[in-house]
Structure 1
């Protein structure tokens, strides 16, 4: 029995052959001979690969058809692995160069990194992300097996471009998502720079602001003399807060920008809350921020917090 399948693939893609051979150890252990022949067309940058299965007659346990079926199945699995590992980068760049022409080379690189990350880690839950990636590869292997069952040759590039439309849709969606995220980041950075310019050019209403934040979203503000000041500014936002049209984080940032202090002292009980408002404050006020290393008020509030537990 001799079965042969021919594959045309990009020159130098050697990972597929080593993976394929690893998958066929069981067949080799059964006494079958598996080997490959590679003819290189350097001008076309194509390798013509022949995968050959030679074997004995039925051994009473597995028919020749069974062995060929397993051979085809392992071939489709190895090809699916090859496409995901070796073609994903090419397909992403192809899509980026086609639909992100206006972006600079640096921004295109950012889009690529984001899109590649989206495809590899498509969910914050690591187990779910692995399951989604397995499903993607499994669908591709199934489509490859259908092709291998009906043909005796495969052009990998043609298969990638025309026969796995769902995967190509995922590539396009990942690039669109990455470009949108990059655009949002750039708009956010432009907004931060605008706020920084506003703060730097404003006459400060108070030279120093002390800020204590809680992970509940509550905050306390007082000036350099220890006088609490938030009530003078919160009244302006009170109606919007009652209607849930503005959050406490937004109120805090608005107050700080309105006052435009030259110095902000961050007081903390434990770690600073990981919130958008904290990140925004750090970016807008940057070098104007210092962190209290433990004043009397911090110790008092820490004691009050411990007393409420």
Structure 2
């Protein structure tokens, strides 16, 4: 009979739950392995995994150790990861204030919990978990007792390095987002200090992904709005997204109505228009202009 002792402080029930969930997948609980908590004489709490094997070097024993390590890895990720990320932020980026650190933590957790569900993040998540499992399995080859806090703090350097990379990415995202917000505030200021040249400007997408501007009477004013910018830009270097934003800022309309928003290839452009013209921009759900645009597009195709 083999015993593994896992020092867990005050979280014995949670650790037991993670381990037993893994053992149940193998149908090994009770018959081949039992899990219980124990309080030592010094008051410390441990989880004791008793394995009904006389020898360690058997495939079945290795499978049980792997399952226990899987359970512990899931527990570490769930219960330690956020605390470790916050520790890295406080250590490596101490110059940010508490509000900024909280936002960086939010961004890091968004990245690490695979919130956008992309393939690379899924691979990264699997890698982190496998690092912990491998370290635990290696550790149990030479020791029957592990103190979980000490293991996390001193044995998971590769895992901590991965978390540091996540925090670095979160900081980059935070700074980029902050710069974007500052830029939007500046553009919003330019709009606010100008006298509106139009009450309403309607924005539509043309067939070649340029933009058509109409006034409140639905008269086209595209050339009137963009001509001064077109004269200063070489033909091959025209960015029509930037041209649209610059034109709208210069015209400073009291209201901007965007039609057929689904036709916009650059969805960030829509967010920029909404942010710059905060409270003034409307995304039209559907109207005659939207329908005419769709009908003409279908006829063209």
Q: What range describes the TM-score normalised by the shorter chain of this pair?
A: 0.7 to 0.9
Which residue of 2 is the match for residue 119 of structure 1? 112
- C-alpha displacement of 1:182: 1.7
CA distance in 1, matches of 2:263, 2:121: 30
- Listed one character per residue, the Cα deviations across residues 226-283 of structure 1 (whole Å, up to 9, x for unaligned) are 4433224245335635343x52100100111112122323333866666222211111
Of the candidates 80, 85, 94, which is equivalent to residue 92 of structure 1? 85
Counterpart for residue 160 of structure 1: 152
1:210 aligns to 2:202 (yes or no): yes
Structure 1 CA distance for aligned equivalents of residues 101 and 130 of structure 2 = 30
Q: Does 1:23 find its partner at 2:15? A: no
What displacement does 1:28 show?
4.6
Aligned partners of 2:22, 2:255: CA distance in 1, in Å? 64
- For structure 2, list consecutive stretches of 5 or more residues without a partner in the other structure: none
State the alpha-carbon separation in 2 of the partners of residues 239 and 139 from structure 1: 56
Q: Secondary structure at the match of 1:101?
A: coil
1:204 partner SS: coil
Q: Which residue of 1 aligns with 2:63?
A: 70
The aligned counterpart of 1:277 is 269
Alpha-carbon separation, structure 1, partners of 2:207 and 2:142 = 61
- The alignment covers a number of residue pairs equal to 297
Checking the alignment, whether the CA contact within 8 Å between 1:7 and 1:153 is kept in structure 2 is: yes
Structure 2 residue matching 1:48: 3-state secondary structure: strand
- Residue in structure 2 matching 1:174, options 160, 166, 173: 166
Q: Which stretch shifts more, 93-102 or 146-155?
A: 93-102
Within a 5 Å distance, the mapping from 1:1-309 to structure 2 comes to 2-25=1-24, 26-28=27-29, 31-32=31-32, 34-39=34-39, 46-54=44-52, 65-121=58-114, 124-125=117-118, 129-213=121-205, 217-232=209-224, 233-234=226-227, 236-237=229-230, 240=233, 242-244=235-237, 246-268=238-260, 275-290=267-282, 294-295=287-288, 300-309=292-301
Task: Kindly indicate whether the alpha-carbon contact (under 8 Å) linking 2:73 and 2:132 is maintained by their aligned counterparts in 1.
Answer: yes
Question: Do the aligned residues in 2 keep the contact of 1:3 with 1:68 (CA within 8 Å)?
Answer: no
**Separation in structure 1 between the aligned mates of residue 8 and residue 208 of structure 2, nearest angstrom:** 57
Q: How far 1:36 sits from its partner (Å)? A: 3.0
Q: Gaps (5+ residues) in structure 1? A: none
Q: TM-score, normalised by structure 2?
A: 0.83
Give yes or no for contact 2:39–2:46 (8 Å, CA) kept in 1.
yes
Report the TM-score, using the length of structure 1 for normalisation: 0.81
